[in-house]
């Protein structure tokens, strides 16, 4: 259901099976899901992006996802398109610092 949107934001065909598994395990592919028990105000929507990534920090005063131009506020993560863009940004971040692309979801 979400594959065409995921492709439109930049995920490759090779990444789709892993992304599909992440969305199923994290939210059952339901964009309305919130894991409020996660730290920093919870994890949001399809890929369960933690609010940590959009809160101000020492290195990113407006938040990491704001700094890379993915969103304006944490609430933007409720948009499936923005949530998938944020997931792709985290994949790219992981790669840029020498981690596995899917490091943010390594527990799966």
5 neighbors 79 (Cβ within 8 angstroms): no
* 108 has a pLDDT exceeding 80: no
* 5 has a pLDDT exceeding 90: yes
Query: Three-state DSSP class for 32?
Result: coil
Query: What does the pLDDT read at residue 39?
Result: 87
CA 28, CA 22: separation in Å to the nearest integer?
A: 9
* 1 has a pLDDT exceeding 90: no
CA 87, CA 42: separation in Å to the nearest integer?
A: 15
Give the pLDDT confidence of 14-57 residue by residue, as tens digits.
999 999 999 999 999 999 999 999 988 899 999 999 999 999 99
* 107 has a pLDDT exceeding 80: no
| Range of weakest confidence among 11-15, 36-40, 65-69 | 36-40
Closest CA to 31 of 64, 10, 6, 54: 6
**Which tokens sit at 69?**
């131009």
When pLDDT is cut at 50, 70 and 90, the band that residue 64 belongs to is very high
């Amino acid at each position: 259901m979400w594959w065409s949107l995921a492709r439109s934001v930049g995920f490759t065909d090779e990444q789709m099976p892993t992304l599909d598994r992440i969305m199923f395990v994290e939210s059952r592919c339901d964009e309305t899901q919130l894991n409020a028990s996660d730290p920093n105000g919870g994890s949001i929507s399809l890929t369960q992006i933690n609010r940590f990534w959009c809160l101000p920090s020492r290195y990113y005063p407006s938040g990491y996802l704001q700094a890379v131009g993915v969103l304006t506020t944490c609430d933007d993560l409720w948009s499936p398109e923005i949530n998938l863009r944020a997931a792709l940004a985290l994949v790219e971040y992981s790669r840029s610092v020498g981690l596995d692309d899917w490091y943010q979801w390594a527990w799966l």
